[in-house]
Amino acid sequence: MDWTLEVVVVPVSDIDRAVAFYADQVGFHIDHDTTIGDEARIVQLTPPGSGCSIVIGRGVVPEMAPGTLKGLQLVVPDVEAARDELVSRGVDVSDVTVLGQSPTPMPHPLDNVGFIFFDDPDGNSWAVQQISTRAKPSDDVVYGYPTGDLLDAEERGEVVLGGCVVGDRPEGP
């Protein structure tokens, strides 16, 4: 059974300002903007190509302090082009930052490790990561590692979690 993440509520102080930011500056599509009476409004926006949307609103979404959502992450095939697009739309976005190193050779040096960062007007923070190629599932590759490498790591006494070598196996019973 698939479990898909479809909606993330983003807490904002000004719905109209947030809609303008996410739609006009970041480029999200407005799926719907619904007002229910005088006290309730819900706006759903979706990043281009995404199966998950964000929802902002009042009266029908959980109460959270504006700006408290941190670490939302988008993935793009070209982080430099994404940065250029955001800058051209007036978003205050970081330079491209390389975080770590890819565990396997990738077609582009920024794949998996190239990031940019920005905040919405309330301070909710976003990361944008470059992934232009994803490993195809197969019996001999797990999360980008050849299974032989993982079996060798286990034989050496290293701990393998989720297809990643995460450290040495502790001594003991």
State pTM to two decimals.
0.76
Distance CA 11, CA 68 (A): 7
Q: In the structure, what pLDDT confidence band is assigned to residue 41 with cuts at 50, 70 and 90?
A: very high
Q: Is the pLDDT of residue 166 over 70?
A: no
Question: What fold is seen in the domain 7-130?
Answer: 2,3-Dihydroxybiphenyl 1,2-Dioxygenase; domain 1 (3.10.180)
- Among 15, 21, 3, CA closest to 60: 15
* Sole residue written with tokens 């199966």: 51
- What are the structural domain ranges in the chain? 7-130, 135-173
CA distance 155 to 137: 23
State both tokens at 29: 């599509």
For 12, 45, 82, 106, 169, the CA distances from 85, given in Å and listed in that order, are 23, 18, 5, 24, 45
Q: What is the pLDDT of residue 132?
A: 84
CA 156 to chain centre: 34
Please enumerate in sequence order all residues whose Cβ is within 8 A of that of 87, keeping only pairs 6 or more positions apart, or say none.
Answer: 93
- If one counts every other C-beta atom within 10 angstroms of the C-beta of residue 102, the result is 16
Phi, psi of 170 (to 5 degrees): -70, 150
Strand order in the sheet with 125-130: 72-76, 125-130, 114-119, 97-98
The whole-number pLDDT of residue 19 equals: 98
Q: Is residue 147 predicted with pLDDT exceeding 70? A: no
